[in-house]
Amino acid sequence: MFRRIFLAGVAAAALLQALPASAQDFPKKQPVRVVVSSSPGGLTDTMARIYAEFLQRRLGQAVVVENRVGASGAIGADFVAKAPADGYTIFLAGAELSVLPAVRNNLPYKFDEFTYLVRPFMLQPLVLASPKFPVNSVQDLVANMKANPGRARYGSTGVGAIVHMGTAMFEGAAGVKGVHVPFPGIAPIYQDMLAGNIDFVIGGSNPFPEGLKVLASAGTRRSPVYPNLPTLEEAGVKGAGWDVWFGFIAPPNLPKPIADRLIAEITAVGKDPEAIAKFQGATKLTPEAAPLTGDDFRRRAVEDNKGWKATAEREKVVVQQ
């Protein structure tokens, strides 16, 4: 028995010696930065701050949130892509990570070369209509747009942004065409919908103002908040489903021992009852029970990009920055 324990100890010591020094020391050297591409107080920022609180407890090292806003997430992504691959800089990215390369050909990084860690959140975007727009279902919406081509006005959070691309996907799948009106954010879209200036949005989410009509989930599955409402697919618009996700990535070529440690700790936070309660209270969202990790996460991001690229090419959407 003693011999077995001794040999196991020798093997463990040899493994530690084989690891890069940075992997052995992580996370003792300095604070861990969680970069987000949204402003303080936004959904992604709120998620990141809850994660930072619980990761700090688990890692025994300070974890801070750093906001790098702009260019639909490209500024934050580029910063992380160029950061040292040592585990001290990670990025809480959104689904825009897969959308941007479909509409921009001049990004200073390659989205598929990041080290993919954990995708803990999946949201089902909603199809919302103005109370003044005479539709009460997806079927009504499609019929109205076919009867009045080029008249229904829909809002988005910018040309080439995920809300714009998601609606373009719907237009192509349903064989309809509306008038795209870009806004600087989702809140002003809601206000113009209440006023009757915008007819619908595909990509809404809670919270939204009382009075807007919820027609369906635009996601690949029904919204847990509105389980009785169909998806676009179930309503007859085939090939129009898309999801909003949030996930942690790191610079390219992060050493596997550090990546594995971060994956384990981030996943553990998502299963912590205290953290879950905070997520639900602050965002109305619950982390996935079985989140995608590592290469599975990467493959899904690449698959998403293929769908967005097909939509961009069909609709001729190109964003010049």
Mean pLDDT of 93-98: 96
Counting residues of the chain whose pLDDT is more than 90, the rounded percentage is: 79
**CATH number of the domain enclosing 140:** 3.40.190.10
Q: Where are the beta strands (DSSP E) in 168-303?
A: 179-182, 200-204, 213-217, 244-250, 292-293
pLDDT number for residue 184: 85
- 147 C-beta neighbours (distance < 10 Å), count: 10
Q: Determine, yes or no, domain membership for 320.
A: no
User: Are residue 151 and residue 238 in the same domain, yes or no?
Assistant: yes
Q: Where are the beta strands (DSSP E) in the chain?
A: 32-36, 63-67, 89-94, 115-123, 126-129, 153-156, 179-182, 200-204, 213-217, 244-250, 292-293
**CATH number of the domain enclosing 82:** 3.40.190.150
- 120 C-beta neighbours (distance < 10 Å), count: 27
What confidence category does residue 173 fall into, taking pLDDT thresholds of 50, 70 and 90? very high
Residue 187 has pLDDT above 60, yes or no: yes
Residue 99 has pLDDT above 60, yes or no: yes
State the DSSP H helix or E strand holding residue 309, giving kind and residue range, or none if neither: helix 294-315
Residue 2 has pLDDT above 80, yes or no: no
Boundaries of domain holding 229: 126-242
Q: Which pTM does this prediction carry?
A: 0.85
User: Are residue 94 and residue 133 in the same domain, yes or no?
Assistant: no
User: Are residue 259 and residue 238 in the same domain, yes or no?
Assistant: no
Q: Determine, yes or no, domain membership for 143.
A: yes
pLDDT number for residue 320: 76
Q: Determine, yes or no, domain membership for 321.
A: no
Cβ partners under 8 Å of residue 299, min gap 6:
none
Alpha carbon dihedral 208, 214, 218, 222, in 10-degree steps, equals 100
In this structure, what token pair is assigned to residue 153? 């006005």
Mean pLDDT of 268-274: 98
Mean pLDDT of 36-40: 89
Q: Determine, yes or no, domain membership for 55.
A: yes
Residue 60 has pLDDT above 80, yes or no: yes
In this structure, what token pair is assigned to residue 166? 């998601």
CA distance 104 to 312: 10
pLDDT number for residue 66: 97
Cβ partners under 8 Å of residue 230, min gap 6:
138, 216, 217, 222
DSSP state for residue 94 in the 8-state scheme: E
pLDDT in tens, 223-252: 988 999 999 999 999 999 999 999 999 999
pLDDT number for residue 13: 43
pLDDT number for residue 318: 86
pLDDT, mean over the chain: 91
In this structure, what token pair is assigned to residue 193? 């919908």
pLDDT in tens, 306-317: 999 999 999 898
Number of structural domains, the chain? 2
Residue 111 has pLDDT above 70, yes or no: yes
pLDDT number for residue 275: 98
With both helix axes pointing from N to C terminus, report the angle between 43-59 and 256-269 in degrees, rounded to the nearest 10. Answer: 110
Of 78-92, 203-217, 253-267, give the lowest mean pLDDT range: 203-217
Residue 256 has pLDDT above 50, yes or no: yes
pLDDT number for residue 9: 44
CA distance 42 to 73: 13
